Amino acid sequence: MKPKGRIITIGLSPAWDVSCRGQGLAWGRHLDLDEQVLRPAGKALNVSRALAWMRCESRACGLWGRDDYEAMHRSVQSLQKFLRVGMTAVEGCTRRNITIIDTKDRREMHLRCRSGLATPASLARLNGNLGRTVCPDETCVFSGAMPAGDLLDPVVALVETCRQQGGRIVVDTHGPVLKRLVEAGLPWLIAPNVEELGELLGAPVPNTPTRLVAAARTLLEQVPTILISRGSKGAIVVSEKGVWTGHATARHRVLETVGCGDYLLAGFLAGCRQGKGLRAALTTAVQAATARAWSLTEAHTWAQARRQIDVEVETT
């Protein structure tokens, strides 16, 4: 069935991504960078950005720091034809995450700060805004790290509000929040990687189609669709309607690893909106993730990139 309504992405741990590229980077050295890029991100906004690249509209909601809200808004203006900003501005400044990429030795380092924007008060404000924003048949994508502990109940309440408004719930997170949402039967789709699937089930799952499918099938009574990211091996969709495995057929040097999962999810959602079924959606998802891995998303259009990527999808 072809989804109706908007795609709304919702992030509780947004960030500015600072990406630094250089050659021969090492401790104790003083070197000039080849490139430094600063952009508003977090997994939920990354999904919206990927959708915009694929010329698929979405609305980006969730939390953002009031101190740098206008800077974020200006930064995404070039995408405004396909990306509408509806963030809830809350007290504070949005964190910065740093990725250091050594292009000579093909090494990466990821430095992450903790997000402090989620509080009982900010989550209550966001809940009220979502209650006024979400309409029936819209797809609500909760993506990225989500606080647990004392904030677990308010986070779950956000998802329940979207569900009560008639939203179709997609969840791409991990830890106690994912487990609680699955146990409550709230999501239509979850999108774990192999490690996150094992964490959800309480035991590691080998990265083989047979073992992943068997593990995912135990969740189908609670979640009707499961998209599993397998890294360089592609992805698997396990659903009540069938099981499909997909991977890119060509070998190519991987230039980007950050954000591939976000492009996989965005591609799957974009594919679902075309109404051609889960098999076709998986094909689109693997093409989008591969385009990100091959660093085609900056200098190429979606139409140009997908022509370079052949995907093999098999029914399991």
In whole angstroms, give the CA distance from residue 164 to residue 177: 18
What are 58's strand-pairing partners? Answer: 83
Task: Tell me, yes or no, whether 147 and 195 share the same domain.
Answer: no
In whole angstroms, give the CA distance from residue 179 to residue 184: 9
E strand or H helix that includes residue 273? helix 260-273
- Nearest CA to 50 among 162, 141, 169? 141
Q: What is the pLDDT along the chain (316 residues), one digit of tens a residue?
A: 566 689 999 999 999 999 999 999 989 989 999 999 999 999 999 999 999 999 999 999 999 999 999 999 999 999 989 999 999 999 999 999 999 999 898 888 999 988 999 999 999 999 999 999 999 999 999 999 999 999 999 999 999 999 999 999 999 999 999 999 999 999 999 999 999 999 999 999 999 999 999 999 999 999 999 999 999 899 999 999 999 999 999 888 887 778 899 999 999 999 999 888 999 999 999 999 999 999 999 899 999 999 999 999 999 8
Tell whether 284 is covered by a domain. Answer: yes
Give the domain CATH number at 90: 3.40.1190.20
Tell whether 311 is covered by a domain. Answer: yes
* 95: phi then psi, degrees, rounded to nearest 5: -65, 165
Its domain, for residue 63, covers 1-25+35-169
Angle at the Cα of 302 from the Cα atoms of 21 and 299, rounded to 5 degrees? 35
Domain boundary among 169, 200, 228: 169
Task: Tell me, yes or no, whether 6 and 132 share the same domain.
Answer: yes
Q: How far is CA 22 from the centre of its chain?
A: 27
In whole angstroms, give the CA distance from residue 6 to residue 136: 10
State the distance between the two ends of the chain, measured CA to CA, in whole angstroms: 21
Task: Tell me, yes or no, whether 136 and 241 share the same domain.
Answer: no
Angle at the Cα of 174 from the Cα atoms of 132 and 205, rounded to 5 degrees? 145
In whole angstroms, give the CA distance from residue 45 to residue 39: 10
Task: Tell me, yes or no, whether 156 and 20 share the same domain.
Answer: yes
Whether residue 16 contacts residue 39, with contact meaning beta carbons closer than 8 Å, is answered with yes
Tell whether 103 is covered by a domain. Answer: yes
HSE, CB side, 13 Å, CA atoms: give it for residue 231: 8
Domain boundary among 134, 169, 204: 169
- Residue 244: strand, helix, or coil: strand
The number of beta carbons lying within 10 Å of the beta carbon of residue 108 is: 15
Task: Tell me, yes or no, whether 106 and 226 share the same domain.
Answer: no
Kindly list the distances between the CA atom of residue 158 and the CA atoms of 43, 163, 288, in Å, as whole numbers in the listed order.
17, 9, 29
Task: Tell me, yes or no, whether 155 and 215 share the same domain.
Answer: no
Domain boundary among 169, 204, 233: 169
Tell whether 180 is covered by a domain. Answer: no
Kindly list the distances between the CA atom of residue 283 and the CA atoms of 220, 228, 310, in Å, as whole numbers in the listed order.
22, 13, 9
Tell whether 145 is covered by a domain. Answer: yes
Give the global pTM: 0.93
Tell whether 174 is covered by a domain. Answer: no
- Provide the domain count of the chain: 2
Task: Tell me, yes or no, whether 158 and 200 share the same domain.
Answer: no
Tell whether 65 is covered by a domain. Answer: yes
